[in-house]
Structure 1
C-alpha cells in the first residue's frame, strides 16, 4: 500500500493536544492535512478552521454529525477529555478509519479493553499517543539497552518530576483535578512513564505495589491568612502557587500558549482577570475541589524478574524525567538531556548528548515526542508499514493494565498481579 497524496485527518477535540497534532500538519502539508474538526468550543474550533482553511460542513460541534456522512478523512485524531474517548474511538474504528487516540485509552479497565478489542478487528491502523516512546532521547536509550552493552537489565529507577506549578495548574485547579471528571492521577499523568519503562526494559510488567496520596494540596495545609481565591489573598505575592503570579506573568511575557491557553480562550488581561475571579484556575490550591494524589511511588516486577521503582511527585522544579538503569554489565543514567553509560571495568564513562527538541512539557512538544508520533503514524497510514508504531493497541493495553493494578494496590495496600495481554 502506498498513498501519494497527503493523509487526511479529522480532529475530534481541538484543545491543546488536538491543536498541537494539527499544527504538525501545517509544517508538513505534503504529508498530511486537516479536513474536518469536531469541537464544541467556538474559539478553539475557529482557531483550527482559520489555520487550516476549513469552512462550512468541515466544522461541527459534535463528532457524531460526521458519522451520517460519507467518510470525511483517512484518519481521526481523538483528543477529547479522558472520559470521552470510548464512544468516538469505537465509532470511528468500526467505520474503518485509522485512529490516533490521546492517552489514556479510557478511565476504566473494561473500557480500555473494549477499545483495543474493536481496534484489533478494525481495518484501520490504531495507535495511542504515548509520545515519550517517539523522542530522540528514548530512541537513544532503547538502542543502548538493545545493544547489550548493559548486559541483562536487573533493575530501574525512574522519576517523573511533575513540577510544583504544573501540579497546581493541571491536577489541583485544572481538568485532571478530580477523578470522577477525568481519571486517577497515575493514569492521567504517569501512564506515559509506566508504558515507557515497559518499552525500555522490553518486558511486560507482571506485578506491582504502590503508595501515595494527597499530602499537601488540602485545606489542612493552608497557611494562615490564605483565602479561597488568589485575587484577594494577602499571600498572593509570596505564595509559590499563586495563580495571579503565574498566569499574569505569562500574559505579561507574551507567552499565550500552554498553560495560559487552558485558562482563557482569548489572552487579554480582562479575560484573564475574569477567569481568575470566577473560574477554577483562580482558586487557592488549598481550597480547591481536587482529590487526585500529589505524590505516588510504584514498585514493579517485570516478567523476566527485573525490578523497577517509579516515583511521581509534584514537589520539584519540573523538567525532564530522570532515569537510572542497572544492568549486569553496566549502568545508564540520564536527566533527559544527557545520557551517561558506564560499562563495568571500562576506564571512562561514555556521554551522549540528546539533541534539543523542546522541553518535556506539552508546551514544548514533549521533547520531540509529539513530532515523532505524528511522523510515525502518518508514515504508517500512507504506506501500511506499522513498524514505527510503538504504541499500538496490545502494547498500550498492557501498560494500562499495570497502571490500573498499581492504583488498586495503592488503595488496598497490597501487591497486585497484572493480567497478561494476548499476542
Structure 2
C-alpha cells in the first residue's frame, strides 16, 4: 500500500485519476489574444483530442463582485485557462476600476450595478463588444439568488460563489432556474477541485484503498482570529443577514463528505449506478460558546482603538494586534493582503507612505466594524458545532457497492491555531486513511519557525493486514498556495471555463460538459446546502432529522 500511495501522490492528481494534468496549476500567462488556443482538459476529463481553434472564439466572462473571491477567479481564468475576463460589475468604484485595470476591461464593460446589465442598451454594448458566455457571481451571499435568477434566463453559463444562497428556498429557486435553462452551472465548492482532495477521492472511491467506507471524521479548524474577523466582526456575523456559520463556512465541507459517500460519480440519468446514496438522518449540536457580553473585560469600550491601553493590551482579539502587530497584520507581517485588505481595500494602491497607511488603517478600524469589541454581542452565529450524518444502508444493493451503513461527522470550531487546514480520518473495512492539510513544512534556511500559510498536505494510510503505518507528505507548489484552498480556486475556474469552452467551441451538449468538466451539478450543490440547514434545524431543536422528510417539507413550501 505504501508504494502505491507514494506513486499516486507523486503524480499530478489528474494523472492519478486517469486524465490530463490540467488540475495542477500554472502561474504562466495564457496564450496572447491572437494566439491559437488549445482545449485545456480538466480532472474529470480524459486527455482531450479537440483541435486548436480560432482565438476569436475564446470564452468571455463577466465578474459580478470584484472583491476577494471575484479577484481569485479572475486571476485563475487569466493565468490558467483560455478564458477572457471581459466585463466587471461592482458597486465599489475602487474595486471595479482595480479589477478592470488589471484585466484590461474597457470602460463601457464596467458596470456600477449588476442591474445595469439587464438594460437593453447594456446588452447591446455587451453584444457589440464580443458578447459574454459566462457569469461569475461573487457578491455578498444574500444577493446571490436575486442576481442568479435574473441572469440565468439569458442563457449565460453561471458560477456562483458559495453559499449558493442564504435560504434553502432561494437555493431551490436557483435549482429550478438552472433546470429550466440549458446552461453550465458551477458552485464555489472549491475543496472538490484541490489536488489533495482529488487524489483523496480517487483513493477512496476508485482504488478503494480502505475497502468500503464505514465512518469519516472531518474537522474544519476555522482559526481563532479568522473567526473573529469574519464571523464576529465581518460579513458573516449575523445569521439573519448571511445564514448560519455551518452554511457559510462549511457547506463545501459537507459537499466533499457527500462527494465521498453520497454521489462519488457525477449523476448520469442513463446510468443507474450513479444515483446518489442520500443520508438517512442528520443530527447536530453546538452553540455560540465564547463571544458574549459576559466575557467582555471590565472597563473595555465598544472599539479596540478607543479601549483603555491596559485592557486592550491584555486582549488577544485586539484589532490593533490582529491588523497591525501579529503576523497577520500590517506591521507584524508586512501584510497588505487578507485580512488587512478587507478592512482597507485600497491599501496596496495607496500612494502614501507606511505611516500614512497606518493612520488610514487605524481610522478604518475606529469607524468601521473590524475595530469593534468582539464581546459586544452584535454577533450570533455558532462558533463550535458538530454535525453527524448517518446512512441506514440498503440490503438490496450489491456487495461492495458503497451503499452500506455508514456515518460522517463534521466538527467546525473557531478555537484553533490552524486556519482552515482541514483534517480527515476515514475508517474502512480494510484500513484507515488519515488526511491532513496542516502538517508544518520545513522552515527555510535561516528560519526557526515555519512561515504562516505554508503547510504541507499529508496522506497517512494504515492497512489492517500490514503491521506498519505508511504515510507520504506533499508541499503544495507556489501556484496551489497562490490560488487559494490548496489549488482549489484555480481547479474550479479551469473546470468551469473548460465546460463553457466545450459547449461554445466544440459543440458538446451541456449535460456532457457538466459531467465531464464540472463533475457535479445543481442537485449536488443544493443537497450540500440543504444538509447545512437541516443540521442547523437539528441543532436549534435538539432533535434528529430524517433527511428525506425534512427535504420534502422544504420543497413543499416552494
Over 3 Å counting, the alpha-carbon distance change for 1:326 and 1:394 in structure 2 is same
CA distance in 1, matches of 2:480, 2:366: 30
- Specify the alignment match of 1:185 in structure 2: 245
- Specify the alignment match of 2:429 in structure 1: 328
Deviations 1:343-388 (A, max 9, x none): 1111322323234156999x86011110110111111111133313
CA distance in 1, matches of 2:314, 2:231: 21
Determine which of 32, 44, 53 is the counterpart of 2:95.
44
Determine which of 258, 261, 274 is the counterpart of 2:338.
258
Residue 397 of structure 2 corresponds to residue 297 of structure 1: no
CA distance in 2, matches of 1:163, 1:364: 20
- Specify the alignment match of 1:314 in structure 2: 414
Determine which of 462, 467, 470 is the counterpart of 1:342.
462
Determine which of 216, 222, 225 is the counterpart of 2:296.
222
Using the size of structure 2 for normalisation, the TM-score is: 0.72
- Specify the alignment match of 1:53 in structure 2: 104
Determine which of 64, 75, 88 is the counterpart of 1:12.
64
- Specify the alignment match of 2:273 in structure 1: none
- Number of equivalences: 420
CA distance in 1, matches of 2:196, 2:371: 36
Maintained 8 Å contact 1:176/1:183: yes
Considering only aligned residues, what root-mean-square deviation do their CA atoms show, in Å?
2.1
Over 3 Å counting, the alpha-carbon distance change for 1:187 and 1:162 in structure 2 is same
Match of 1:269, SS state, is helix
- Specify the alignment match of 1:278 in structure 2: 367
Over 3 Å counting, the alpha-carbon distance change for 1:20 and 1:402 in structure 2 is same
- Specify the alignment match of 1:248 in structure 2: 324
Maintained 8 Å contact 1:10/1:35: yes
Cα shift at 1:180: 1.9
Moved over 2 A (4+): 1-6, 201-206, 223-227, 232-238, 302-305, 347-350, 352-355, 357-361, 419-422
- Specify the alignment match of 1:407 in structure 2: 536
Q: Which runs of 5+ in 1 are unaligned?
A: none
Cα shift at 1:401: 1.3
Q: Which moved more, 1:238-247 or 1:386-395?
A: 386-395
CA distance in 1, matches of 2:187, 2:477: 21
- Specify the alignment match of 1:374 in structure 2: 493
Maintained 8 Å contact 1:8/1:35: yes
CA distance in 2, matches of 1:239, 1:89: 42
Maintained 8 Å contact 1:358/1:368: no
Using the size of structure 1 for normalisation, the TM-score is: 0.94
Q: Which runs of 5+ in 2 are unaligned?
A: 1-49, 265-276, 348-356, 394-404, 438-456, 504-512, 553-558
Cα shift at 1:177: 0.4
